[in-house]
Chain A
């Protein structure tokens, strides 16, 4: 997966933390998602279709999910309930929506978010996808953004348009 395709997602995560969570964020080295058998996390998933196909998944340990959703609404959550599930869905929705607006020349549609408990590699409909795992650290806890993204059509370059505007 090309860096130019993952960068919009990373920027979207940073914008989310800056604007809605008021929290500093540190990104660690990205890598490929590997099979794990650890504690099931909460994973918010959104599909992308149109001139690019992809899947965006926000994988949160329970403690991180409680802290992030709690920070968003100014409440304290002690366990996973419908608000947490809903909140994780909204978080991944904001990330995917924000990222798709950064792909110039593409027309990308988003699915509604789905939130599951488990391991991303165990989701049967995702087994053939190669996910890039971008780990983050924050005061709200560690988490990962997992993305698989493939442009279906090479978008028209907008440099010519910009050059035209700039030359006026």
Chain B
């Protein structure tokens, strides 16, 4: 399966891709902002999971979620963000995100989210 990791921080992308590799997911695509993510999803129909930051330059993660859903993609999206207010979580879910992980997270937190969306064969 192919996972798209969207974050403007290269360090955070490294952390998330490291967690994915521990789950035996090695087919990973990275994007540095929401627009890049929208473009990847439009061109690549094999994305199985999207891990999306919220605050990014060019296009925010929440705007990218809306665009991806408007484009018809049903790929699961997990917001991985510092935005922890209840209103933000509700906004994300209403916009089409499937789940939510608040930074700072520990390795168990992100592994639990990945296990929820990745097939058992990858665990």
Seen from chain A, the residues whose Cβ lies within 8 Å of a Cβ on chain B are 15-16, 18-20, 22, 69, 72-74, 82-83, 86-87, 89-90, 93-94, 96-98, 100-101, 110, 112
Contact = CB atoms under 8 A, between A and B. Distances in A.
Interface of B: 8-12, 14-15, 18, 55, 57, 81-85, 102-106, 109
Chain B binding site: helix, strand, loop or mixed by DSSP?
loop
Contacts of A82: 10
B58 to A, nearest CB: 11
Contact of A90 (B12, B18, B57, B105): B12
Nearest to A103: B85
24 contacts: A19-B106, A19-B109, A72-B15, A73-B18, A74-B18, A86-B11, A87-B11, A90-B9, A90-B11, A90-B12, A93-B55, A93-B82, A94-B104, A96-B82, A97-B55, A97-B81, A97-B84, A98-B103, A100-B85, A101-B83, A110-B55, A110-B82, A112-B8, A112-B55
Where chain A touches its partner, the secondary structure class is helix
Nearest to B86: A101
Nearest to A110: B55
A143 to B, nearest CB: 16
Nearest to B57: A112
Contact of A83 (B11, B81, B104, B106): B11
A98 B57 contact: no
